Structures are given as C-alpha cells and as structure tokens.
Structure 1
C-alpha cells in the first residue's frame, strides 16, 4: 500500500475498490479496518510479530480474505455485531427487586396483619423463583451503541427512518455524546401452573419489578462505563410507551439489532416473551436529564405516557 491512509480509506490500495460502490470518495475499505481482527481465531490465518515492548501483534499485511466476494457477507455480519451482551445476576439484585415488588403491589399501604401475610408470600415467591433459576439466575441484556448523529430534535433516525421521541424536543442534544439501544426480557415464569390467583399476581409483579430494577442497573452501568476519564451522565430509559415514543417503535428498534442474542423476538404483533423490553439510553457530559417527580413537570410532556416507569 502507498502512504495515502485516511480514516480507514486507502484509494491508492492495489485492491481499491474491492467491490462496486456508488460514491468512491466515501468508500471505506474493509482492508483498512477489518472487523475480524479481534476474533480469537481469524479466518485469514494472520501472522504474528513481537513488538519491542514484547506485545504480540497480528500482522495482516498479506491477508486477502476481505477481498474475496464470498466472504463479504461474513465480514459485514461481524461488523454489524458491534454490541455487548451482559449477564445480570438477579441474586445480587434480590434486595432491590423485593423493594420494587413491594412498591408495585402497595403492600405498605394495607393494614398490619394483611401486610405481614403478603410479605411472607413475597419472600416465598422470591425464594422459589431464585431456586428454580439456580443454574442460571441471570438475565441477558443486549446493548448496542449508536452515534449522536442519530439523535435529532423530537426523534431518532436510523437507516433513514424516523422514530419519534417527544422528550428529545426538550433536551440539549448538542451535549449528547452517544446512545445505546437495549433489549432483554424478564425471567420466564409458568403463570398457568403457579397456583392461586394471588400467587399469579405476585409472579407477574415480580417480572415487572425485575424489569424496572434492571433498567435502573443499566443506567448506572452505562454511566460508570462512560465515566472512565471524565464524568458522564446517563439518561433514564427512553422507550416505546413512555417519554413521547409510541409503541409502534418496538419492531423498528428490535430490527436494528440481533435481539435473539437476548432471547427477544417480534412475532408481528408483540414481543416474545411477553415480558420483554426494548429502549434507549443517552450519554452526555452534563446532566441534561433531570426528571420531575410528578406528571406536571414530567419531561415526557407532549404525547404523554402509556404507563409511568417512575412510580
């Protein structure tokens, strides 16, 4: 290659362009940035060199893999999997799940005798669910980063399609550094064979509590993840059904990622499993996400909310 490297482009490369493109000036040559590079076992069989610092580095200078037309789909597929799959252990969040479950079921608002009985039921159900999930007491969460260019006043734009999100009209989007799409589902429970109607109610409330707690955990995780060098702030979860985003956005968001990695799919009418979630988080250098505690000052405002995730 000649010395004409510029932002993953090398128009002087002897292979350039390795396939037909509409605008050569915008062509990003895969030979200059191969997404297979980070694979433990690259199909290109790279050679290795040892740097002066003793680092073992891949040498791809003789690799022609990315220039083989039959490999194009594989390379593109790997490039599209720039995501992160988290395994969240619910046992470590048991206290938070219980607290949220008590909030959802309003146990603290009933008389003392009934309150004690309901708390015993909650403890029993939590123990039973954790025991049933003992081998894999974890929820898989898929995260996929997206660029700030996708964030516009009042909507997101992905692949040329707009996804309305009313809250974006009230944020200073110039301060937003990036965003994340997420997808996951609550632990699957067998409601039909649970037993009493009350137990079924608590099981369903348990699933809702898990989803709320995990969303809160993700917000903290993304804030820590992006604050390595300087303090960053993560928004609440903005998703279909709240903060001015309609439910019709569900299939659009799921279509942007391989949600099957988190066990979530779209059957044409709704997500599967039933207790599944998809949404977004935004990262900014300043706290532009202050949320009021009442509906009057809710930053969702226009468009309203189909349900409130805050209470």
Structure 2
C-alpha cells in the first residue's frame, strides 16, 4: 500500500534501445523508440541493452552480423549482473521479434535463441512482444515461430491484426489471486468472436501462404528499386510482407511518404529514416506490382 517491499519489490525489466512496448507508465519504461513518447513522464531505473544494428541482406553479412549480435548479448548479460548487484534484479526481458517503431530492425534466430538461453541461465522471464509482428504478416501467425525453438517464450503479447489486446503465458505465471492483473477490462467476448472468424478466413483462404508469396515479390522489388536508386534507397529488408527500406535522410523519407499518399498508397515511417510496408493479409502478388509501380513513380520524380 505504500509502494515498498515486500508488496512492491525493487525488481527491473530489461529492454532494448529502439524498442516500443506501449505508452502506459510501466510500458514506457521499456519503450525507447521516440523521445516524444516519454516526454515529462517519470520512469524507472531499469536496464536498457543495445539491439543489434545489422547489415542487410542478412545472408550476405553473416560474419559481421554475428559479431554485432555477440556484442549485444554480452551487454545483456553484463546488465543483468550489474542490476542484480544494485539490488534491482532483472525479473524479465521484453523484446520484439522485429523492432517496428524503432526502424524495422531485425536480428537472427541465433540471436533470439542465445537470448532465451541467457534468460534461463539467470532466471528471468522472457516476454516476446508480438503486438506488431503477430497475426500473420511475417508469413507465420507468430514471428517467433521463425526462430525454430521448442521453448521460445514465457509470455507473448498481441493486438492489432488480432483485434484485441491480449497475451498468453506459461502455467507457472498464472496469477495466484483474483484482481492481481485485471479490473475494469476483464475480457471482451465480442472481439473474440470476431477474431475466431478472422482466424477461420486465414486458414480457409491460405493467407499465410499468400503472405509468403507476395512478401517474396515485395522484397525482391525493393531490392531492384534500391539498385535503381542507390542515392535514395538502401537496406531493404523484411520477413513476409513485414518489409522496410531506408531513405537517404528523414526529410527525403517524409517527402516520399507524402507523395505516395497523394498517389493512393499509404506507407509508414519508422526509426530515423525508414519506410515500412504493412499490407493486409489479402495483399496478393498482383497488388505488389501495382504498389511497386507507384513507388517507382514517386522515386523517379525525386531522381
């Protein structure tokens, strides 16, 4: 009742630079993607680890990227030890499979597997935030399925494409008393009915397979455009249709977004200068070509 132990223990959550996990007070302590999100909001003394800054395409820079990921993993472990010594042990680690708001930053499955091992070694819960990546846009319902792990997470949170804000977790994390987590919002049955039908459509129309096909076409098209406009575009990357490409600077990025909007294509900005693509699951290869043609028109006007 007075914000002190034992009821309010001095624990911490480790998060990553560039992450976005929400805008309530606790979530903001783990959000590090835009300064405006945190302006004038008190926060907690919780550890922040570096997220790998990789080179793309990933398969062409395996050695360099492995070195960068090893550096970040070493820093994670150092922070866990440092915060334990400070008397604020890390109770959990939260991470996005692809950092979305922070710039569509990817990491390899090996990175996430090693991070999972670190959480198990130090007794930290592992929270995978699938709010933006979950729901099929990477070609699987959950982006963490791409890691190929039998035990990928202790907690998974989701929303957006899955219509409702929710999470699932291991049995041992089940609250042992009522009212420990929920109060006003204790379920939303109508949203669950809608979600059930959405999942039926995904299965019935094989939309995950559609995402894989259209995502491959989209990414290849972005590779071609960055080769065609090397002064404007770089670092094309993606998984499924969850794709992005960098502009040469933020002003150019913002101008491209406006011109694309004026031609009927809604794209998003993220990170310092990234353009992100977030088509619906019904986005087909024929739509990819329409999109790329319009995008090319916008770029040609700036050349």
Q: The TM-score by the shorter chain falls in which range?
A: under 0.3
The two structures have a TM-score, normalised by structure 1, of 0.23
TM-score, scaled relative to structure 2: 0.23
Higher helix share: 2
> Highest relative contact order (Cα 8 Å, sep 6+), 1 or 2?
1
> Which of 1 and 2 has greater Rg?
1
